[in-house]
Amino acid sequence: MHLLALTVLSFLCALYGLSLKSYGLVAMLLGLISLGLAREGKRYVLVALLGLFLAWVSLDHYYGTGAPVNLRITARYERSTVVTEGSRKYLLEEAMPDFPEGTVLTGKVKVTAREPHRSGYAGVVEIREMKAHSDGISKMQRVKQNLMDQVMEKYGFDRGSLMASLVLGRTEGIDERRSEDMENLGIMHILSISGFHFALLEMALKRLGLKKGRLPVMLFYAFFIGSVPGYRTVLTICYREVSYACRREGDPVTGLALAFFLQAFLQPYLIFRPGFLLTYFSTLGILLFHPPLLKYFLHGPTLFLESMVMTLSALSLSLPMVLAFAPELSLGIFPGNLLMVPLYTIITYFSFIGVLVVDIPVLTTIIEPFMGIFFDLAAYVGRFMGSMKLVLNLEHLVFGYVGVALSLYLFLRKGARKRALVFLLVILLFTLPWGTSVSLYNKYGLPYIRITHKMKVYDIMDYRIAEEGMTSLRKAMVMTLDNRTIRIEPSGNPRGIPRVYLDNRRLNLGDRLEYTSGVYRVKKVMLMGRKVMRVK
């Protein structure tokens, strides 16, 4: 039994429930864990209680009422500023000079404490007699920003922004067409810093003979870019190295659980970040299911088999979080991982080299032609494959995934492969757009209307914010479906919900949506003859 991993699972369940003040949910989840572990021995039941205690300590430590002394600017918005001290995050709502990110603020700080919330703000601060100064971290952040600017100026916007994203953690500026192609293929993660990039860096350092020096290099790099997947990778490597030093074989699952616990304990709000959970659960899926799946799918082309099994393993536990970003799963993820990942592996190595030699004109002149070949090849291949978009709408699996996965596991364990296949086909049939319906979706705070009719899907969005592939709503649009008249009118506000009328009666869809990290369906109305059925 992975005792530490089970403790961390109990900690996660308790932390989630306590953060939302859902004490009934905490009791139910920990009760289920205790019942499941009771067969292994009574001492395992204490794991659930230990997880609950650690969750309470984490929240009490993070949301403590002590006033911060040195606050560092980490993000600026139109009417507020995000500041941090250590692992705690605060909100500064007062007007202030245009200080750059990384600047340290001091003064007489007053804190209005907040209760645990998914936003993660430990409190709202006011600073009187404010003073600003820079330290080593501030200077390092300015170096990173200057390096990003140099890379984009030297290699051009398209290549430079991609290199800055792959190596320096830049989160904006990537060519929209390239991003859209990768999104259609379901492999958007390879365009930003992830554990994949740290694994490539570790392999490169090993090839260069830096077996002992690679850990300090990777620690500095993770701190330099401030990447959550980077910290995860470095923490697991530290666990592995300590295990080797103690002459014990480090268990990968235990190392992953320890890394998760350390990050979530210090910053409990991270458990509400889909990207944070995604990086851990996809890695856990690979560790647990890659070997058995590889044996199960023993027959087939080796290259395709390896890619398919790796993808299925990563999705096995992370699929609900993937669907939280977008309810549609692209089938292009399988050929995308097979063809695009090797290309972007080469591009990532070229990006590392290009950033390191950006100030050496002779070397940049030598590598630029080779970089251009692979950057352009990846763009053309991605454009070709991304144009053949084939998706499954799996939004109904976001909450029912555990039951479906457990049913498939039981079928396969009993050797009922045909029943498992029939069950899977029935589930997939629900992904098809049956019947006629009107749905309201929230996409990162932006509303759009989805009309389904006769196996066809129409996505309609205000023309001022419409994305490629969606129908732009410029004026009133009228559709006749099954002898029912649907009229859609744009809202006065581009972010407002379009007005939808069914036979001249307005549907109650609301006026505005709150921001959410991902895409989910807010409301759905099914049209069945002359009847209207509202689906929760």
Which CATH topology does 71-134 take? OB fold (Dihydrolipoamide Acetyltransferase, E2P) (2.40.50)
CA–CA separation, 225 and 494 (whole Å): 35
CA–CA separation, 115 and 477 (whole Å): 45
Query: Per residue in 246-256, pLDDT tens?
Result: 777 778 888 88
What is the residue type of 450? R
Helix (H) or strand (E) holding 47: helix 42-62
The three-state secondary structure class of 21 is coil
In the chain, what percentage of residues exceed pLDDT 90?
Answer: 1
CA–CA separation, 215 and 230 (whole Å): 12
Please state, in angstroms and as integers, the Cα–Cα distance from residue 330 to each residue in 197, 307, 468, 503, following that order. Answer: 23, 15, 16, 35
CA–CA separation, 209 and 186 (whole Å): 35
Mean pLDDT value across the chain:
79
Q: Which pLDDT score is estimated for 451?
A: 86
**DSSP 8-state assignment for residue 376:** H
Query: Per residue in 412-432, pLDDT tens?
Result: 777 777 787 788 778 777 766
CA–CA separation, 241 and 210 (whole Å): 14
Q: Which pLDDT score is estimated for 6?
A: 78
Q: Rounded mean pLDDT of 259-267?
A: 91
Please state, in angstroms and as integers, the Cα–Cα distance from residue 482 to each residue in 130, 285, 369, following that order. Answer: 65, 45, 58
pTM of this structure: 0.78
Q: Which pLDDT score is estimated for 508?
A: 85
Strands 71-76 and 104-113: antiparallel
Q: Domain residue spans in the chain?
A: 3-62, 71-134, 141-393, 397-429, 436-535
Q: Rounded mean pLDDT of 375-392?
A: 76
CA–CA separation, 266 and 94 (whole Å): 27
Query: Which is more confidently placed, 89 or 392?
Result: 89
Instruction: Give me the DSSP letters along 299-347.
Output: SS-HHHHHHHHHHHHHHHHHHHHHHHH-SEEETTHHHHHHHHHHHHHHH
Residue 526 CB: number of other CB atoms within 10 A?
16
| Beta-bridge partners for 111 | 125
Q: Which pLDDT score is estimated for 265?
A: 92
For residue 39, which phi and psi values (nearest 5 degrees)?
A: -65, -25
CA–CA separation, 201 and 214 (whole Å): 9
CA–CA separation, 355 and 264 (whole Å): 32
Cα angle value 361/363/366 (rounded, 5°): 110
The encoded tokens of residue 220 equal 């500095």
Q: Rounded mean pLDDT of 523-530?
A: 77
Torsion sign, CA atoms 245, 249, 252, 254: negative
Q: Are 75 and 91 in contact (CB under 8 A)?
A: no
- Going by C-alpha positions, the residue among 434, 432, 310, 358 that lies closest to residue 163 is 358
- Which residue do the tokens 């977008």 mark? 326
Q: CA end-to-end span of the chain, whole Å?
A: 40
- Which residue do the tokens 């990777």 mark? 218
The three-state secondary structure class of 285 is helix
